[in-house]
């Protein structure tokens, strides 16, 4: 049996403990006075530094679960990122079966007419859009996102929010 490096063992332990973990949320109150939802509370996903996994850690997990080395897995992930970027810059969508689709979206400013629209002037920026793969649930017949099916959520434990009965927004007065 091969001896695993400490970073692999740490990754494995973190992976095994994360299996029972859930997505953490924090409560956020709508403080926009012009909104119809003013004062209402929402749950927002919340992430800490330790809630992030990098390429090296992904490679370690792949190496543990397969017959490839962590170095090979890392090289494949980096090549995937490089070639996905290349395809997106060529105006292509990138479909990763059973995972999802990546494509480019544009931020544009309006033009008064189609003739006046100029990409150099009206295109203000670009973003990457991810559309997770979906499958039809055999029991309910509804479409579910495979990537997060079975998700569990728990409230984040280390933040402050007043859960009193006050119905007015919990907003700090401006100085």
Looking at the domain assignment, is residue 167 inside a domain? no
pLDDT of residue 50: 83
The residue segments making up the domain with residue 89 are 6-155
Looking at the domain assignment, is residue 130 inside a domain? yes
The structure's pTM equals: 0.70
Looking at the domain assignment, is residue 165 inside a domain? no
Return the CATH number at 150: 4.10.520.10
DSSP state letters, 51-79: G---HHHHHHHHHHHSSS-HHHHHHHHHH
| d(C-alpha 72, C-alpha 59), whole Å | 8
Looking at the domain assignment, is residue 31 inside a domain? yes
pLDDT of residue 165: 57
DSSP code of 121?
Answer: H
Looking at the domain assignment, is residue 101 inside a domain? yes
Looking at the domain assignment, is residue 166 inside a domain? no
Looking at the domain assignment, is residue 171 inside a domain? no
Q: How many domains does the chain have?
A: 1
Q: Which of 26-35, 53-62, 138-147, 163-172 shows the lowest mean pLDDT across its residues? A: 163-172
Token pair of 63 as six digits: 């190496």
Q: Which residue has the higher pLDDT, 157 or 75?
A: 75
Q: Which residue has the higher pLDDT, 127 or 172?
A: 127
Looking at the domain assignment, is residue 169 inside a domain? no
Exposed, middle or buried: residue 157 (CB in 10 Å: 0-12, 13-18, 19+)? exposed
pLDDT tops 50 at residue 1: no
Q: Which residue has the higher pLDDT, 89 or 51?
A: 89
State the residue for tokens 């990537």.
147
């Amino acid at each position: 049996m091969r001896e695993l490096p400490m970073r692999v063992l740490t990754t494995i332990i973190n992976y095994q403990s994360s299996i029972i973990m859930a997505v953490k949320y924090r409560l956020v109150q709508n403080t926009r006075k012009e909104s119809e939802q003013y004062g209402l509370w929402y749950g927002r996903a919340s992430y800490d530094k330790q809630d992030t996994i990098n390429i090296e850690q992904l490679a370690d997990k792949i190496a543990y679960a397969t017959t490839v080395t962590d170095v090979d897995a890392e090289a494949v992930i980096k090549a995937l990122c490089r070639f996905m970027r290349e395809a997106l810059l060529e105006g292509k969508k990138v479909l990763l079966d059973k995972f999802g689709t990546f494509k480019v979206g544009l931020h544009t400013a309006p033009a008064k007419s189609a003739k006046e629209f100029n990409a150099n002037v009206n295109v203000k920026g670009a973003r990457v859009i991810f559309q997770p793969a979906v499958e039809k649930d055999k029991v309910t017949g509804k479409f579910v996102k495979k990537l997060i099916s079975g998700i569990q959520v728990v409230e984040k434990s280390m933040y402050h929010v007043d859960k009193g009965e006050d119905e007015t927004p919990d907003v700090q007065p401006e100085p």
